[in-house]
Structure 1
Amino acid sequence: MALDTLPPIGMGTYRLKGDVCRDAVRSALSLGYRHIDTAQIYENESQVGDGITSSGIPRRDIFLTTKVWFENLRASDLMNSLTDSLQRLKTDHVDLTLIHWPSPDDEVPMEEYLGALRDAQREGLTRFVGLSNFTNDQVDNARVLLGDTPIMTNQVEVHPFLSNRKVVSHMQELGIKVTGYMPLAVGRVMDDETLVRIGRAHNATPAQVSIAWLASQGIVAIPSSTRPSHQKENLAALDIELTIDEIDAIDHLNRNERVANPSFAPEWDE
């Protein structure tokens, strides 16, 4: 039976290329991951598709997400680019399609690309739709434009050094799931004394503590890892129960430190 909700953890594939990407996806699925996250701009959809098909896990048991790049937001471009993505992914549909970034300077009106995304859903190219890197105001606008079409998630950067509390709180008030990318702050969590200390108390790594912290807030984490041992640890992080004091200590690590902040980013909620 197809999955109708986002699994609590996913395998992120940002920066993974070639055989490394294919093998990492296959390994993750063999260990129990059922949520794979990719994007057009990652240029690895073909390898993700290979990893899925070679895993032996039925496609219906895998929640597959891709994202439409902002150069493909014109209505006809969006539909064509998503069809191309499906070809590369070797599937007739994805479970979730996200708008990767809002159109820079609103060059393409939100009404146009969200309308095209809704059309793609109606045509069966994607089961669910969502957003990525959208501010609270942009999400509010998107909800109006999409009407009865629900937004499954807003995927934003979240880790102990960027709690993104304003966005997380607003999404949760709206009933929109938050997916947290770069949950390990590209490895920076490994050296943090607070996370190391909390990890010792749970016989866990700082990476596991970070993922457990996201999970404690109901945030879906999508760590990217190529090593099966790390993939296994990331999955096991969901079993860690942090105390209220530990969660509070991690909350205090926030310093609004963004890893992903390109020139075309919207004006963030701080």
Structure 2
Amino acid sequence: MNKKKIGIGMGTWAWGNKLVWGYKPETDDILLKKTFFDAIDGGLDLVDTADSYGTGNLFGQSEKLIGNFLEELPKRKLKKITIATKLAPFPWRIGRNGFNHAFQESNKRLRGHIKRAQLHWSTSRYAPWQEEQLLNGLGDLYEKGLIQEIGLSNTGPKRLCFLYQKLKERGIKITSIQMQFSLLTKPTLEDEKIKNLCIEHNIEYLAYSPLALGILAIKPNKSPKPKTFLRQKLFQNILPKTIELRKLLTNIGEKYSASQAQVALNWIRSHGAKPIVGIRNPLQAKDAISALNWSLTKREKERLDFYRNSCLANMPQNPFTSP
């Protein structure tokens, strides 16, 4: 697992700019392009998106933006990064060829640069047969040379073992798995099993929502009010119960002249995982890049582990995560 790098999560690029912030294409797309280029120049080496990032008229919008930016990226830089997209196992995507059209459309939006295709979530709780067939379909894309790597997302240890073995029988390995992982995810035995399986099988462990929707970057004495109702309720519940944890992030950050976000990202890296951080402007890109320049000490990691284990509030678990 690569503990030195950080990935870029593009989930908010479809919805945030166009649906929440008051989208202005003449300025916003330029800002996003600069953010993207700065991140790549700074050493962030994984670009993670999904075909379901954007709905209605905005379906696939994140992939479209990335594809446009990639066309302007010099080939020498393009070779250094991995373009990964997640394909959603919607109920109508069934059978071994269920992802074929979705992949073709995603690859078109991403200008033919998809290196890694990922199953967006596990269907093992409600349609295990669908998941296995779709995974075989990804295996077919791999064998045809249309993708170089296969990844999973929101897949628990039991299902990971099953799917890993299925692909292994075809001589194909699972390259990565994405799970929600941060200082505010609830510590579980399943999470430890996932990390151990990643080490055993040389699978890259990717941590999405590493800053817990930005909560871990909020100053201990601040209580901002988000624009959406769901986030307001979440912040009301979590912010008062995480003041001490956020104070610790601030104190550790002062030692390195670093932000709380950098400390939270480096805590993830200290656990052998690669954080996929959402960045919306050049300042956030610069902050994430700066986290690559230093690492937590063993003592600092242990202190953060202790506060995580004793924290009175946690982020909601993803309901699509399988056993």
**Where on the TM-score scale, by shorter chain, does this alignment land: which range?**
0.7 to 0.9
Structure 1 partner of 2:174: 151
1:59-82 superposed Cα distances (whole Å, 9 cap, x missing partner): 333210001101135322212211
Q: Which has the higher contact order (CA 8 A, sep 6+)?
A: 2
Within the candidate set 119, 128, 137, 2:149 is matched to 128
The runs of 4+ residues in structure 1 deviating greater than 4 Å are 20-23
Structure 2 CA distance for partners of 1:30 and 1:53, relative to 1, 3 Å: farther
- State which drifts further: 235-244 or 158-167: 158-167
Per the alignment, in what secondary structure is the counterpart of residue 47 of structure 2? strand
User: Does 1:36 pair with 2:47?
Assistant: yes
CA drift at 1:260 = 5.3
Structure 2 CA distance for partners of 1:259 and 1:235, relative to 1, 3 Å: farther
The whole-number CA distance in structure 2 between the counterparts of 1:227 and 1:98 is: 26
The whole-number CA distance in structure 2 between the counterparts of 1:13 and 1:57 is: 21
The whole-number CA distance in structure 2 between the counterparts of 1:114 and 1:24 is: 33
The whole-number CA distance in structure 2 between the counterparts of 1:186 and 1:235 is: 19
Structure 1 partner of 2:5: 8
CA drift at 1:6 = 9.8
User: Does 1:257 pair with 2:278?
Assistant: no
1:157-202 superposed Cα distances (whole Å, 9 cap, x missing partner): 1111225434223322332220111111111112411111111121
Structure 1 partner of 2:74: 56
Structure 2 CA distance for partners of 1:30 and 1:239, relative to 1, 3 Å: closer
CA drift at 1:107 = 5.2
The whole-number CA distance in structure 1 between the counterparts of 2:45 and 2:94 is: 28
The whole-number CA distance in structure 2 between the counterparts of 1:126 and 1:100 is: 16
- State which drifts further: 172-181 or 70-79: 70-79
User: Does 1:69 pair with 2:123?
Assistant: no
1:7-42 superposed Cα distances (whole Å, 9 cap, x missing partner): 821111011126265453234224333321111111
The whole-number CA distance in structure 2 between the counterparts of 1:127 and 1:181 is: 22
Per the alignment, in what secondary structure is the counterpart of residue 209 of structure 1? helix
The whole-number CA distance in structure 2 between the counterparts of 1:73 and 1:167 is: 27
The amino acid of 2:215's aligned partner reads R
Kindly report the root-mean-square deviation, in angstroms, between the aligned alpha carbons of the 2 structures.
Answer: 2.3
Larger radius of gyration: 2
Per the alignment, in what secondary structure is the counterpart of residue 264 of structure 2? helix
TM-score where L is the length of structure 2: 0.74
Q: Is the 8 A contact 2:7 2:48 kept in 1?
A: yes
The whole-number CA distance in structure 2 between the counterparts of 1:24 and 1:79 is: 31
Per the alignment, in what secondary structure is the counterpart of residue 61 of structure 1? coil
Per the alignment, in what secondary structure is the counterpart of residue 134 of structure 1? coil
- State which drifts further: 209-218 or 130-139: 209-218
User: Does 1:221 pair with 2:275?
Assistant: yes
CA drift at 1:127 = 0.4
**Count, aligned residues:** 261
Structure 2 CA distance for partners of 1:187 and 1:50, relative to 1, 3 Å: same
CA drift at 1:259 = 4.5
The whole-number CA distance in structure 2 between the counterparts of 1:21 and 1:259 is: 29
Q: Is the 8 A contact 1:6 1:63 kept in 2?
A: no
The amino acid of 1:154's aligned partner reads I
Could you tell me which runs of 5 or more consecutive residues in structure 1 were left unpaired when the two chains were aligned.
none
Q: Percent identity?
A: 25
Within the candidate set 238, 247, 251, 1:197 is matched to 251
The amino acid of 1:62's aligned partner reads I
User: Does 1:176 pair with 2:203?
Assistant: yes
TM-score where L is the length of structure 1: 0.88
The whole-number CA distance in structure 2 between the counterparts of 1:132 and 1:237 is: 24
1:95-110 matches, within 5 Å, as 95-103=115-123, 104-106=125-127, 108-110=129-131
Per the alignment, in what secondary structure is the counterpart of residue 24 of structure 1? helix
The whole-number CA distance in structure 2 between the counterparts of 1:7 and 1:118 is: 29
Within the candidate set 285, 289, 295, 1:235 is matched to 289
Structure 2 CA distance for partners of 1:150 and 1:7, relative to 1, 3 Å: farther
The amino acid of 2:270's aligned partner reads S
